[in-house]
Structure 1
Amino acid sequence: MTVLHPDVMLSISITAAMSRDQYTGHPQPVIDELRQLGGARTDILLPDVGRWIGYHGIEENKILTSALLAAFPGAVSFIAEGQERRGKPPHGTYEKRA
């Protein structure tokens, strides 16, 4: 059985928390959960928050993304990376057949 590294599991938990509640009108519980999950691990939390905002930032979740930026200002430097990833095609092994 393959076991994921704890840092990978933390990253998954952080991005899942944001995705699960991305359309919320009350972002404080999401921010509280992220602070609890990330704790002192800002080396994981800030890049994940910034990349998530860059990838998923749309008008419909602006309440959450604005609150995330206010709560985690260090995440702003990772937004461009998320935007870049959004523009790339999905990866995988699928090959289109003629």
Structure 2
Amino acid sequence: MISNKDIHDYCLERDLSVLTADGFEGAILGISDCIAHGYDPRVVYSIERCIDILVKDGMSHEEAIEYFYYNCNSAFVEGAPVFIHTEF
């Protein structure tokens, strides 16, 4: 499992700055690498793992989905993490 410390260390070594999503450390997949295309790197998370974490924290599955899409996936912050589907 990739930790926030792993992300922090990776970014320090490369003089990069990224935002992480609080509480979703177990859902980190990696860091995007689009610098050559003019995009800043971003931490990439699994949507399904994020929802699982919210359920483990006490939400119902339906509450977790609604919370995730309203509060996490729709955050319009420059450099915000990327959330992708990893299960089909």
Shorter-chain TM band: 0.3 to 0.5
User: Normalization by structure 1: what TM-score?
Assistant: 0.31
Structure whose residues are more often helix by fraction: 1
Structure whose residues are more often strand by fraction: 2
